[in-house]
Structure 1
Amino acid sequence: MFSLVAAHRVYLDSSFTSVVLSVMVLEGFGRSLDPDLDLFQCARPYLLNMV
Structure 2
Amino acid sequence: MNKAEKKALQERYNDISEMAFEAFATYYLCDGILEEMLEDHPFLDPARAIQEQVKN
TM-score, structure 1 normalization = 0.45
Which structure has more RCO (C-alpha within 8 Å, separation ≥ 6)? 2
More helix by share: 2
Looking at CA atoms only, which structure, 1 or 2, has the larger radius of gyration? 2
TM-score, structure 2 normalization = 0.42
